Amino acid sequence: MAQAYKTEFDTPEIKEYPLIPHIRKGAMEHSKPFVAKAQHQESLGFPGELVDNWQQVALAKMAELLGKYRSIRVFLDTCVKCGACTDKCHYYLGTADPKNMPAARQDLLRNVYRRYFTLAGKLFPKLVGAVELTEEVLQDWYRYYHQCSECRRCSVYCPFGIDTAELTMAGREILASVGVGQKYSNEIITKVQKIGNNLGLPEPALANTLENLEEEIKDDTGVDVRLPLDEKGAEVLLVTPSADFFAEPHVDGLMGYAKVFHQAGISWTLSSYASEAANFGIFIGNYDNMQKLAQRVRDAALELGVRRIIVGECGHAWRVAYSFWNTLIGPFDFLDPDYPVPQHICEFSYDLIQRNALKFDKTANDHRILTFHDSCNVARASRMGNMPGGQFVIPREIIRASCNHFHDMSPETIHEHTFCCGGGGGLLTDDLVELRVKGALPRMEALQQVVDEFGVTHMAAICAICKSQFSKVFPYYGFDMDMVISVHQLLGDALVLGETH
Amino acid sequence: MSLVSILYALLFYFAAAVLCVGILLRIRLYAHTPQPLKIPTTPAPATRAGVVMRMVREVVFFQSLFKGCKWTWLFGWIFHFALLLVLIRHLRYFIEPIWAWIVIMQPWGVYAGFAMLAGLAGLWIRRIAVDRVRYISTPSDHLMLLLLIGIAGSGLLMKYVWPTDIIALKVFFLGLLSFDWQPLAPDPLLLLHLALTATLMIVFPFSKLLHAPGFFFSPTRNQTDNPRERRHLNTWATEPDTGSRP
Ligand code: HEM
Ligand code: SF4
Ligand code: SF4
């Protein structure tokens, strides 16, 4: 079955003052990602295509999830339709489609929940908006649960903390269970399970890539900085998103990590078996797949005999690692208890900076004027350091240690209020390019403001998805695609390599 | 005793039972449903005490709503706070002798009645006037506001326009509490006020009013941000088989 998507669309206009649009019904009704092929459904344990009794299967799945997740049950019951979340989603702000308002997105599930699982919905469906689970509803689930990047911005402002991401995950889990999974995420999960990373990069290719990077650093700096692979007995296992191995600007970040390890004099290694920090199991809301992917990291750590695990720059990967790993694949009693498990590469570098173990030549970054994009999953679903809010302080401190020119974007667009890049949550695929461009609008507006005000030339990020997404959507808004940069590239460029401490 | 008195006595027993049993069952359901993963939303406190403070700030000040929408916060907070004062004021119908602090609260309870109406009116105007909020509203959302406006309005009318015999009313409710039924004055306004209130009690456990107990079970708000320090267990997950690299 050939699937198509819209490539011609209007890029939203950057306004001087961001406006909340009036609703435009059906504005993004045409947007949906490609459906997964049978083989990529079955490899994840789902039926290959829409099952005949899908309605029954979907409701059974819903009942199962209601019993397994307190979040889902409480969130479906609790919304008072106060509307505080309705103008908080970047996809609503960028598309004006009312079904992209968080409460309305939740309602796609809630209305069905009410019809089949609550007394009020069974007795008075019209009164409480309860609806039958029809083909049209299933279509809406597929459309609009793939117009949510699971960024949790709505959850910050909801008086009850209702997190639409939880319901999006539930929606996607039900969709996959009846046979309509999403091509992009399912293919990627399959690749990790077969080969070890999202890109399907096998061990020899990976080894080759790392060698090339070592040469590149040598050419640039004259120093032998290593990027070791599968080295047993190393102190640290680094698990990083596979985009770091080849994509721009990610790869410069990877070289930055290598330089920091080099300077710190700590032995480290990558693993070809667990060569992926990303965990798309979270995106499709499937616990088993998420656990299976995470399990590779535990196995690799044990196999290599490392003492610590450090995670590279990636948003949702850090959420899974920080918030979920201990539950999914813990306990980590075989690792060094003196260090947090897992540790973020930024925590690692920040610690070295705090201890004056790194020397910087900040002028190396003087041709750059920086701002920083808080990645949604780091900002709202995890933490760094040992103080609340450390995830905001630490990356900025690293940037300040490496650069002379740094300016934050407007306060209502950073920290916990940050806007998603528009490509998170399993949406970083060409078949959703219109959604991605439009969803980036709020971040683009905030960026434009600091470009105008301070002449900002680069936006640093600590997420593989953010970096890829911005490289893609920047040109639509008249920015240069190279404006996005890894935090560890900044650090790497300013780091004075020499005798190790 | 009149038929009306008997009907209202039965109605209030029924409403009270539905309210209490309904909410208790719901709380039991929430409490017994596992929360497999740690999902607190930033700013998430790293200690249990911090979480308690966060919950208190949410319940008392509606902190997140304040960040979300100032108008809704203003009207919503006025309404809820006023509702609380009004409920406290109403305790005098159920307690004999009346505790001193409830006596002190009496005048506040009256102002609160007006504040409650104002807050509800503001919320309803927003629900109708803002296209986004109108879109997410179902008929029940409007009716709920109407119901509360009806309760507050009928109450204030009794206070200021057509007074009812509140001594007799108190005798009626104390009678209900001691299972020694007493007659109820058949004032139309009083009967309306009481019928609406009983309706509210009955719909409570089946409606969005579950937000009151539900809030306390919201994992994004009641979880401690310490997943690395303390292993959170998922009761339904299978343990990973350790060290099983194929
Ligand atoms: C723990 C106690 C409670 C808390 C923390 C709480 C909190 C909230 C919050 C934050 C909102 C959203 C803002 C708003 O629209 O006002 C809300 C809405 C609402 N609450 Fe409560 N509430 C509580 C108890 C109650 C009770 C006991 C009632 C009932 C009679 C009630 C009735 C309502 C109604 C009707 C709305 C919707 C208002 C609208 O339509 O805009 N709440 N509540
Ligand atoms: S902010 Fe929360 S309670 Fe209010 S409409 Fe949105 S999800 Fe519902
Ligand atoms: S989680 Fe993010 S993308 Fe999804 S509805 Fe909420 S704000 Fe929108």
Rounded mean pLDDT of B172-189?
Answer: 94
Cα(A166)–Cα(A285) distance, integer angstroms: 8
What ranges do the domains of chain A cover?
A: 38-181, 189-494
Cα(A80)–Cα(B23) distance, integer angstroms: 17
Atom 2 in ligand 1: residue holding the nearest Cα: B212
- Indicate the residue type of A59: L
pLDDT, position B238:
78
Phi, psi of A360 (to 5 degrees): -120, 145
- Indicate the residue type of B176: L
Atom 5 in ligand 3: residue holding the nearest Cα: A102
Could you read off the pLDDT of A100-121 as tens digits, one per residue? 999 999 999 999 999 999 999 9
Quick check: B240 pLDDT over 70? no
Could you read off the pLDDT of A425-441 as tens digits, one per residue? 999 999 999 999 999 99
Q: Considering every ligand atom shown, identify the ligand nearest to the alpha carbon of residue A380 and give its number.
A: 3
Q: How many CB atoms lie within 10 A of CB A295?
A: 18
| Six-digit token string for B90 | 């109403």
Contact B41, B25 (CB under 8 A): no
- Strand bridging mode A308-311 / A343-344: parallel
Contact B37 A298 (CB under 8 A): no
A274 lines ligand 3 (CB under 6 A): no
- Closest residue to A326, CB basis, from B133, B140, B227: B227
3-state secondary structure A187-244: HHHHHHHHCCCCCCCCHHHHHHHHHHHHHHHHHHHCCCCCCCECCCCCCEEEECCHHH
Which H or E run includes B111? helix B100-129
pLDDT, position A499:
66
Q: How many CB atoms lie within 10 A of CB B92?
A: 18
Nearest to B31 by CA among B176, B230, B222: B222
Quick check: B245 pLDDT over 50? no
* Residues of chain B contacting residue A78, judged by C-beta atoms under 8 Å apart: 208, 210-211, 214-215, 218
- CATH superfamily of the domain spanning B3-27+38-220: Transmembrane di-heme cytochromes, Chain C (1.20.950.20)
| Six-digit token string for A470 | 């911005």
Could you read off the pLDDT of A319-330 as tens digits, one per residue? 999 999 999 999
Contact B234, B36 (CB under 8 A): yes
Q: How many CB atoms lie within 10 A of CB A139?
A: 13
Could you read off the pLDDT of B188-207 as tens digits, one per residue? 999 999 999 999 999 999 99
Quick check: B244 pLDDT over 70? no
When mean pLDDT is compared across A179-183, A355-359, B96-100, the lowest value belongs to B96-100
pLDDT range class, residue B107, cuts 50, 70, 90: confident
pLDDT, position A403:
97
pLDDT, position B127:
98
CATH architecture of A38-181: Orthogonal Bundle (1.10)
pLDDT, position A200:
80
A interface mutation test: which of B38, B123, B136 has the most A CBs within 10 A? B136
A400 Cβ neighbours under 8 A, 6+ residues apart: A406
pLDDT, position A309:
98
User: Cα angle at A340 between A338 and A342, to 5 degrees?
Assistant: 135
- Indicate the residue type of B21: V
Rounded mean pLDDT of A175-184?
Answer: 98
When mean pLDDT is compared across A171-180, A198-207, A264-273, A449-458, the lowest value belongs to A198-207
Point out which residues pair with A461 in neighbouring strands. A486
Atom 23 in ligand 1: residue holding the nearest Cα: B212
pLDDT, position A8:
87
Please give the full DSSP string across A35-101, using - where no structure is assigned.
Answer: BPPHHHHHTTTS-SS--TTHHHHHHHHHHHHHHH-HHHHHHHHH-----TTTTT-HHHHHH--GGGS
Measure Cα distances from B119 to A482, B40, B195 in Å.
51, 30, 22
Adjacency order of strands within the sheet including A343-344: A268-269, A236-239, A308-311, A343-344
- Closest residue to A81, CB basis, from B41, B46, B141: B141
pLDDT, position B114:
96
B121-158 in b/e burial notation, b at 16+ Cβ within 10 A?
A: ebbbebbeebebbbbbbbebbeebbebbbbbbbbbbeb
B interface mutation test: which of A323, A336, A338, A412 has the most B CBs within 10 A? A323
* Residues of chain B contacting residue A69, judged by C-beta atoms under 8 Å apart: 33-36
Phi, psi of B27 (to 5 degrees): -60, -40
pLDDT, position A352:
97
- Strand bridging mode A343-344 / A268-269: unpaired
Cα(A476)–Cα(A455) distance, integer angstroms: 19
Closest ligand 1 atom number to CA of residue B59: 5
Which H or E run includes A433? helix A433-439
Contact A104 B136 (CB under 8 A): yes
Contact A23 B46 (CB under 8 A): no
pLDDT, position A1:
47
Mean of all residue pLDDT scores within chain B: 94
| Six-digit token string for A487 | 């935090």
Contact B137, A84 (CB under 8 A): no
Quick check: A345 pLDDT over 70? yes
Contact B41 A387 (CB under 8 A): no
Q: Considering every ligand atom shown, identify the ligand nearest to the alpha carbon of residue A84 and give its number.
A: 2
